[in-house]
Amino acid sequence: MSRTWKRCSSCRKDIPYRATYYVCSVSTCNRKRTGYAFCSVDCWDAHVPMMNHREAWAEEQTAPPPPTAPAPEPPAATGRRRIVRPAATAPAPAPAAAGRRRIVRPAGSRARQSPDLNTVADKEVLVVASRLKAYIRARSGDMSTSAEVLDILSDLIRAQCDDAIRRARMDGRRTVKGRDLKK
């Protein structure tokens, strides 16, 4: 009987049963037919540029037991995810408890953080720049669009949305509708 569960999708080394392996966080790599599995973060990292992922991370998982072994009780799922960086950028992480998943991001990528919504919403551009610039160029014939136009338009949109939210609340609704916007 083979002691190999799968082969690494990058270097083709054997991944034994009950061993730690890594999967890509991108949904197209996690499909049943694709089934990529990597023996190390380095192998996963080699896969990222080839697949042209923009933002991805490796999720640490444990291979299943051999098919002849009795099935142990499944551990209680914690529902928590832990971000782990490759060894070159962070100290070695403590071993994960069985049944937990760890997320490993490539060096230089930012971990997803829950930003303060007020600061993000107040600074974010709410207009598609390329569409606005194309519209102005098409309507004017040859005019360009300054970057500050995007900020000013975003501020105007925010003010309109704030008024529409206030009107919807006054009507006792939790949905902002077209009639809440000024024309």
Altogether, the residues listed in the chain come to a count of: 183
Note down pLDDT in tens along the chain; length 183 residues: 678 889 998 899 999 999 999 988 888 887 888 888 899 988 888 888 778 777 888 889 999 998 875 666 666 656 666 666 565 544 555 555 555 566 666 655 554 444 555 555 667 888 888 888 888 989 998 898 888 888 899 888 888 999 999 999 998 998 999 999 887
CB 21 within 8 A of CB 6: yes
Residue 9: Cβ within 10 Å count: 22
Q: What is the pLDDT of residue 50?
A: 77
Q: What is the pLDDT of residue 7?
A: 92
Q: What is the pLDDT of residue 114?
A: 47
- CA 98/CA 75 separation, integer angstroms: 7
Render pLDDT for 24-47 as a digit per residue (tens, 0 to 9): 888 888 788 888 889 998 888 888
For 19, 69, 136, the CA distances from 154, given in Å and listed in that order, are: 51, 60, 16
- CA 137/CA 129 separation, integer angstroms: 12
pTM: predicted TM-score of the whole model, two decimal places: 0.39
Alpha helices in 5-128 (DSSP H): 41-51, 117-123
In angstroms and rounded to an integer, the radius of gyration of the C-alpha atoms of the chain is 25
